Amino acid sequence: MTDITASDLTLEEKASLTSGADFWTTTAIDRVALPSVMMTDGPHGLRKQQGATDHLGLAQSVPATCFPPAVGLGSSWDAALAERIGVALGVESAIEDVAVILGPGVNIKRSPLCGRNFEYVSEDPLVSGVIGAALVRGIQSQGVGSSLKHFAANNQEFDRMRASSDIDPRPLREIYLRAFQRIVTDEQPWTVMCSYNRINGVYASEDPWLLTQVLRDEWGFAGLVVSDWGAVNDRVVGLPAGLDLEMPSSGGRTDAQLVAAVRGGTLPEEKLDLAADRVLELVRRARRRPAAAGPLDVDAHHALAREAAARSIVLLRNDDRSGAGALLPLDRGAAIAVIGEFARTPRYQGAGSSLINPTRLDTALEEMRLLADGDVAFAPGFTLDGTGDVEALRAEAVAAAAAAEVAVVFLGLPAAQESEGFDRESLDLPEAQLALLAAVREANPNVVVVLSNGGVVALPFRDEVPAIVEAWLLGQAGGGGTADVLFGVVNPSAKLTETIPLRIEDTPAFGNFPGEFGHVRYGEGILVGYRWYDARALEVAYPFGHGLSYTTFAYGDAVAAVTDAGDVEVRVPVTNTGTVAGREVVQVYAGPLRSVVQRAPRELRGFAAVEVAPGQTRDAVVTVRRDDLAYWDVRVDRFVVEGGAYRVEVAASSRDVRAETVVEIAGDELVLPLTMNSSVADVFAHPVTGPVVQQLMAGALAGLGGADSSAASMLPDDDALQKMMASFPIGRLAGFPGMPLGYDQIEELIRTANAGGAPDPELFAARPATAS
Residues with a catalytic annotation lie at 228
**How many residues belong to the site for ligand BGC (CB under 6 A)?**
9
Give me the helix-helix angle, 390-403 and 431-443, nearest 10°.
30
418 forms part of the interface with ligand BGC (CB under 6 A): no
Q: Toward ligand BGC, which CB reaches closer, 55 or 626? A: 55
Q: How far is the CB of 273 from ligand BGC (least distance, A)?
A: 27
Q: Compose the 191-230 pattern: x for residues touching ligand BGC by CB under 6 A, - for all others.
A: -------------------------------------xx-
159 forms part of the interface with ligand BGC (CB under 6 A): no
Near ligand BGC by CB under 6 A: residue from 18, 37, 38, 42: 42
The Cβ of residue 361 has, within 10 Å, a number of other Cβ atoms equal to 16
149 forms part of the interface with ligand BGC (CB under 6 A): yes
Q: How far is the CB of 79 from ligand BGC (least distance, A)?
A: 22
628 forms part of the interface with ligand BGC (CB under 6 A): no
498 forms part of the interface with ligand BGC (CB under 6 A): no
235 forms part of the interface with ligand BGC (CB under 6 A): no
Q: Measured between alpha carbons, how far is 110 from 270 in angstroms, rounded to an integer?
A: 39
441 forms part of the interface with ligand BGC (CB under 6 A): no
Give rounded-to-5 percent helix, strand, coil for the chain: 35, 20, 45
Q: Measured between alpha carbons, how far is 429 from 448 in angstroms, rounded to an integer?
A: 16
Under 8 Å between Cβ of 629 and 648 = no
156 forms part of the interface with ligand BGC (CB under 6 A): no
Q: Contacts with ligand BGC in 50-69 (CB under 6 A)?
A: 55
Q: How far is the CB of 155 from ligand BGC (least distance, A)?
A: 13
Q: How far is the CB of 71 from ligand BGC (least distance, A)?
A: 15
Q: Contacts with ligand BGC in 540-579 (CB under 6 A)?
A: none
Q: Contacts with ligand BGC in 94-123 (CB under 6 A)?
A: 102
Under 8 Å between Cβ of 236 and 247 = no
Q: How far is the CB of 110 from ligand BGC (least distance, A)?
A: 16
353 forms part of the interface with ligand BGC (CB under 6 A): yes
Q: Toward ligand BGC, which CB reaches closer, 227 or 491? A: 227
Q: Measured between alpha carbons, how far is 454 from 457 in angstroms, rounded to an integer?
A: 9
Q: Which bin fits 394, alpha (ψ -120 to 50), beta or left (φ > 0)? A: alpha
Q: Measured between alpha carbons, how far is 285 from 222 in angstroms, rounded to an integer?
A: 13
Q: Toward ligand BGC, which CB reaches closer, 356 or 612? A: 356
178 forms part of the interface with ligand BGC (CB under 6 A): no
Going from the C-alpha of 88 to that of each of 68, 84, 621, the distances in angstroms are: 13, 6, 28
Q: Toward ligand BGC, which CB reaches closer, 29 or 473? A: 473
The Cβ of residue 694 has, within 10 Å, a number of other Cβ atoms equal to 16
Q: Contacts with ligand BGC in 632-651 (CB under 6 A)?
A: none
Q: Toward ligand BGC, which CB reaches closer, 228 or 682? A: 228
Where are the extended beta strands (E) located within 540-693? 553-555, 559-562, 568-576, 582-592, 604-612, 617-624, 631-633, 638-640, 644-653, 656-665
Number of H helices, E strands in the chain: 22, 25
Under 8 Å between Cβ of 161 and 231 = yes
Q: Measured between alpha carbons, how far is 288 from 111 in angstroms, rounded to an integer?
A: 41
Q: Measured between alpha carbons, how far is 721 from 715 in angstroms, rounded to an integer?
A: 6
Q: Toward ligand BGC, which CB reaches closer, 26 or 678? A: 26
Q: How far is the CB of 45 from ligand BGC (least distance, A)?
A: 13
Q: Toward ligand BGC, which CB reaches closer, 421 or 731? A: 421
48 forms part of the interface with ligand BGC (CB under 6 A): no
423 forms part of the interface with ligand BGC (CB under 6 A): no
Q: How far is the CB of 43 from ligand BGC (least distance, A)?
A: 8
Q: How far is the CB of 227 from ligand BGC (least distance, A)?
A: 9
41 forms part of the interface with ligand BGC (CB under 6 A): yes
Neighbouring residues of 389: CB distance < 8 A, sequence distance ≥ 6: none
Residue of 322, 648, 305 lying closest to 467 (CA atoms): 322
Under 8 Å between Cβ of 357 and 61 = yes
Strand partners, 477: none
**Binding positions for ligand BGC, rule: CB under 6 A:** 41-42, 55, 102, 149-150, 228-229, 353
